[in-house]
Structure 1
Amino acid sequence: MAAVMPEGWFRGASELEEFEGVPFEEQPALVVGVPAAGLPAEAAAFDGRLPVEWEVCDRPVGSIEDAFTAAIGPHMGEIHWESLQWPDAPEVGFHGESKHAEVTLLFNTHIRFSDEPADDHTVLVHVRSVNIDGHQRREPYAHWLAEQVGLAVIGPAQRS
């Protein structure tokens, strides 16, 4: 992956309490984050650090997807866009917002943070959850967003 995606930073998994009290500069480079050229060559360096996340910022849509898809191959992975702004739709009572305005493209799996493989990909559209008097007020916004690009919501809303 690092050879195909040399930009950005790679960061290995760690437990929240693992480095409690350890100054940032004394934490392992793979935990803090390293550029592709700084990734360890030996496989043992990744013990207890999988999955490894790759992060790039401020890339336009369409600039990394093909290379990432080719690099990920049949393995599971995801591209997650955050800090988005949903558009206004006053004709249906929606006002654009940025809270929880995110999109996740899942490769070869249907569920984030899962090790269950699939033979296809899934797009998750994240909108803010607002429940008023037992009625979900924001879920219709996800349906409206899908309609704007000629698609439809095909699964139930995830509650977490």
Structure 2
Amino acid sequence: MSVDVAYPVFRTPDPALALRTARRLMEFGRCECSDVSAYAEFSSVAEVRRVANAMPGGRFRGASELEEFQGVPFEDQPPFVVGVPASGLPAEEAAFEGRLPVEWEAWNLPVGSIEDGFTATIGPNVGLINWRSLQWPDAPEAGFHGESKHAEVTLLFHTRTRELDEPTDDHTVLVHVRSAVFDGRQRREPYAHWLAAQMGLTLIGPAQRC
């Protein structure tokens, strides 16, 4: 089974500029079946409430330990841990004890339906927007055929890694291509260079794998 590899191509402390840049790259490969998803983590109840009011779509999921629910059927697990809409968030502050950070996610939405609102609402929190099912064009001068299965663009907010494990004050745009490693070298990296160059961008960091 093939996997993707992502390269950072732009970084800025301005979230609106980061979104515009990511969109330019995404539009280069956008097709009829393209979609968008978003994800964020909130470390305080106040931030969860704020985002729930600003973006009632998507689902919120409280943190849990694997051992808590081993052997417990999915349908018997607490709704807040499984995932609830904004309207299903606990009203009591005590219900959030041991459940932070709270995750929020919205998946497989039409392109253009969520990006502006999410960028305006993310605040200081870590999160991402991911556009997938794109279609990268052929690059005959670089010796590469087009790419669809692993053609994606990701905008990282307040982090520089796909794992969201290194909080920062800036935002990073990633371009994704198919991973193809031979003799220890990533053979599709020149294609990522080519894609970035079409938008006046360049690779600014090493490959990031899932």
Which residue matches 1:148?
Answer: 198
Match in the other structure for 1:44: 94
The letter of the residue matching 2:134 is: Q
1:101 aligns with 2:125: no
Structure with the larger strand share: 2
How many Å apart are 1:65 and its aligned residue?
2.1
Over the aligned positions, Cα root-mean-square deviation in angstroms equals: 2.4
* In structure 1, distance between residues paired with 2:148 and 2:93: 40
Q: Does 1:55 align with 2:106?
A: yes
The range that moved more, 4-13 or 22-31, is: 4-13
2:135 equivalent to 1:86: yes
Q: 3-state DSSP class of the match of 1:120?
A: strand
Sequence identity, in percent?
66
Query: Which whole-Å CA distance do the structure 2 matches of 1:89 and 1:34 have between them?
Result: 42
- 2:139–2:191 contact (8 Å) kept in structure 1: no
Question: Aligned pair count?
Answer: 158
The answer (yes or no) to whether the contact 1:10–1:55 under 8 Å persists in 2 is: no
> 1:26 Cα deviation (Å)?
0.7
Q: Given the two structures, how large is their TM-score scaled by the length of structure 1?
A: 0.81
Structure 1 stretches lacking a partner, 5+ long: none
Corresponding position of 2:47:
none
3-state SS in 1 of match to 2:130 = strand
| Pairwise CA distance, 1:56 | 3.3
Which structure has more relative contact order (CA 8 Å, sep 6+)? It is: 2
Structure 1 residue 125 corresponds to structure 2 residue 175: yes
Residue of structure 1 in register with 2:162 after alignment: 112
CA displacement at 1:8 relative to structure 2: 2.3
Question: Between Structure 1 and Structure 2, which shows a larger proportion of helix residues?
Answer: 2
TM-score between both structures, scaled by the size of structure 2:
0.64
The change in CA–CA distance for 1:134 and 1:23 in structure 2 (over 3 A counts) is same
